Amino acid sequence: MTKNILEQYHIRYMAKTLLRIDNVTKQFGSFYANDHINLDLERGRIFGLLGPNGAGKTTLIRMINRITVPDSGTIAFDGNPLADDTIYKIGYLPEERGMYKNMTLRSQVEFFAKLKGVEEKKLHSRLDELFERYGLVHWQDKKIDELSKGMQQKAQFIATIIHQPTLLIFDEPFTGLDPVNTNLIKEEIKAMNEKGATIIFSTHRMEQVEEICQEIALINKGKNILQGTVSDIKQDYKSNRFYLKTDADLSKNDLKSFDIHNIVINNDTSSIEFAVESQNEANRVLKFVIDRGNAILDFHEILPSLNQIFIQAVAE
């Protein structure tokens, strides 16, 4: 009976986990690019892979793509060890462009699509659809070298997704794109996720991570130092800081009887930011303002941004 329960648990767990990185180490001489990394990526999630320059993110991505292999530890995809045919289920957009400058846009994407196993009979209709969607129809016979950086980035994005992979890895996908095309690609990433794609998103732009990602892992000096959902991590790093706006002016003198600090009175003088040692003290401030006869227009806890958390975690 116990064995059956364990087997059922294993089946459910493996069905939920698409990518499992177990104690992976990669060493170059005496330098550890990855030092016993452990990550589980759930199916259907958008996962932010973060870290400062040289942290080991690219090395890890290269091992997921079978460009190189771990010195120790294992990487499993969909419950099985990485194999040669796993690459057909993965799409990888690297930070550095890897396109042949003298090939035309269409022949370039066709070439990558065939490498990823796209059938000839489906290829041309799929290309027509994607070129139309990304505004590249009139540029498909131009050489890559004749395209703008933004067009090259869109072309590489198409080459990444054309085989409709299960796992997509985007490393700085918005490089060279204007705001309109950045928003287009952003919405495409979200749409692919809603259709079931699992996504690893790597960038130094924390505001993009907050907007797109559901979970993150932060790597520093080859080690995984932080992992979890964005909401949980923000809760873990919160500092009991609050925002209060009323229908009357507030001053530091009004609040001198409370155990609060780091008070910032905003320009309109009817809103303040302050820090307290406990939630109870914030509630006392709120009660004081209400008892004074003022209306509360806004009151909320100020959670740290991912950018603040990133800096703090790396510094620690």
Residue 74, amino acid:
T
pTM of the model: 0.84
Task: Give the contacts of 125 (CB within 8 A, at least 6 positions apart).
Answer: none
CB environment 224-261: b (16+ within 10 A), e (fewer): bebbeebeebbeebeeebbebbbeeebeeeebeeeebe
φ, ψ at 248 (rounded to 5°): -140, 165
* pLDDT of 290 strictly over 80: yes
Helical H segments across the chain, by residue range:
2-16, 57-64, 105-115, 120-133, 149-161, 179-194, 206-212, 230-236, 279-291, 306-315
SS3 state at 308:
helix
The domain made up of 2-234 is a member of CATH 3.20.20.70: no
- Domain coordinates in residue numbering, the chain: 2-234, 237-315
Q: Mean pLDDT, to the nearest integer, of 159-180?
A: 92
**In 3D, which of 305, 304, 259 has the Cα closest to residue 283?**
259
pLDDT at 95: 84
* pLDDT of 264 strictly over 80: no
Task: Give the contacts of 276 (CB within 8 A, at least 6 positions apart).
Answer: 240, 242, 258, 259, 260, 261, 282, 285
- Assess contact for 25 and 60: CB atoms under 8 A: no
- The label of the residue with tokens 């998103």 reads 201
Distance of alpha carbon 13 from alpha carbon 81, whole angstroms: 16
pLDDT at 160: 93
Task: Give the contacts of 176 (CB within 8 A, at least 6 positions apart).
Answer: 148, 149, 150, 152, 153
Q: Which two tokens stand for residue 96?
A: 């550095």
Give the residue with greater pLDDT, 215 vs 12: 215
* pLDDT of 260 strictly over 80: no
Question: Which class is domain 237-315?
Answer: alpha beta
CA dihedral 156, 158, 159, 161 (to 10 degrees): 120
pLDDT at 266: 67
